[in-house]
Structure 1
């Protein structure tokens, strides 16, 4: 660890109104440099700020000074909540896309020809499109020069501080920025609980589903969220041909997780979220095992 510190000026707005500014502020660095987004996350954690909304670094410079403090060790997690749908042979996720075909490549019966008596194995064969079940979108899904699943770092999907925002589908379909104000968002995964997962595998799942609006995506991006998820058929309104939420979030390298479930089982905050995909090159979406970890860091 070097003895580098960053001196900077900043302006931060709060989601519940008001804001603060700092001049000549100094923080320890774990490396030689830090970008503006990481610096905002750093100062928010260091000052233990709540309800942080749009934030800007106005000036910064690197100086040499000894570090002042040690980092705390996080406690161990205590419980896991499943947040992804089961994918079975023939499960329809998105109307118009083929359902997965899951079968034996090598059956247990056939495997007995290759092993000693009493020893057998099964090897499955899966044929499916990448948008199947609960899946994550990364920038390559929307942009040809965006990072694909193999290029995205694991920390973009794993062990993220998280919050749940409730937007009951019986009361709202178009979820705008107002639903995200007065909440602690910066540096967190934001999971939107609509309850639409009750329609999973039914024809009604694809009809008039809840979705985010363009201004909600803009606000979440400005607030510096790490990931956005929803328990609906799509995070965008699919009745038209534009996809402003995918465009805005993926353009800022904020992953999207769609088709979540069981969000009603989560508290509104104080948990961590993981939705890790395999490291496929040239692929922008893929199914994930989405989980929430309760009782650990919050």
Structure 2
């Protein structure tokens, strides 16, 4: 099998959602001095490649810790939305047969090419309400995108978050989705940290392909 990493590196200089603090690393133990290396890490729960739980925006809903590990692993499909200004129902419906057989829908907008640039935070394609409502009716575990959010950064209503999370469809943001996954069958794994009352978590997202 071949494993493709879809995850960004976490470091102190990485892009974060506007208004969030960047990760902080403090050396608690230094090998040469203390005989061991250990770091204190301060990080937001929605840093880097991460997963949103329903609890992120919905009161009295599930956290990531309320789901079994099976929720985070399953068959994946890539939807090619590169060059599109919006992710429409017309686009998604072209993949309906594949989506019906999948657990995770990963949308490749091509926006990951702007990672580390100011442009990454604005103008990225998002689903129309019609498209979000359509995908929310499918029996999938999660939807991922190679942008900072499934809604525009300046959105306060967060319509796509609400539509998906109300159906307990997990949201994965800040993915790296290479073209070599297009048209391929693969197992997608996105295990979060097992944190109590988890509204979200950084993940190590990978695609596993049979050779």
Please say which of residues 139-148 and 237-246 is displaced more in the overlay.
237-246
Q: Which residue of 2 aligns with 1:272?
A: 187
Once residues 26 and 13 of structure 2 are traced to their aligned partners in structure 1, the CA distance between those partners, rounded to angstroms, is: 11
Higher relative contact order (CA 8 A, sep 6+): 2
Alignment of 1:27-42 (within 5 A): none
Question: Any idea what SS the aligned residue of 2:64 has?
Answer: coil
Query: Does the CA-based 8 Å contact 1:93-1:201 persist in structure 2?
Result: no
SS of match in other structure, 2:107: strand
User: Which residue of 2 is the match for residue 134 of structure 1?
Assistant: 49
Q: Please give the residue correspondences for 1:256-271 in structure 2 after superposition, counting only pairs within 5 Å.
A: 256-271=171-186
- Choose which of 109, 130, 134 in structure 1 pairs with 2:32: 109
CA contact 1:211–1:237 (8 Å) conserved in 2: yes
Flag the structure with higher helix content.
2
2:88 corresponding residue in structure 1: 176
1:231 to 143, 146, 150: 146
Match of 1:90 in 2: 13
5+ unaligned residues in a row in structure 2: which ranges?
A: none
Q: How many residues align?
A: 208
1:176-225: per-residue Cα shift (whole Å, max 9, x none)? 11111132212420000011011112111102122112211111111222
- Confirm or deny: 8 A CA contact 2:49 2:172 kept in the other structure: yes
Q: Kindly indicate whether the alpha-carbon contact (under 8 Å) linking 2:122 and 2:152 is maintained by their aligned counterparts in 1.
A: no
1:233-260 CA-partner distances (Å, limit 9, x unpaired) = 1111233322111101110011010000
- Give the greater-gyration-radius structure (CA): 1
Three-state SS of the structure 2 residue aligned to 1:212 is coil
Matches within 5 A, 1:1-298: 78-112=1-35, 121-158=36-73, 160-168=74-82, 171-183=83-95, 184-186=98-100, 187-295=102-210
* Residue 109 (structure 1) shift: 2.6
Note the alpha carbon deviations across 1:43-82, whole angstroms, 9 max, x for none. xxxxxxxxxxxxxxxxxxxxxxxxxxxxxxxxxxx11000
CA contact (8 A) 1:90 1:101 kept: no
Q: Distance in 2 between matches of 1:231 and 1:254?
A: 17
Q: Which moved more, 1:259-268 or 1:124-133?
A: 259-268
Q: Distance in 2 between matches of 1:90 and 1:110?
A: 26
Q: Residue 195 of structure 1 contacts residue 264 of structure 1 at CA under 8 Å; is this kept in 2?
A: no
Separation of aligned partners in 2, 1:250 and 1:82: 25
Would the aligned equivalents of 2:191 and 2:203 in 1 still touch at CA under 8 Å? yes
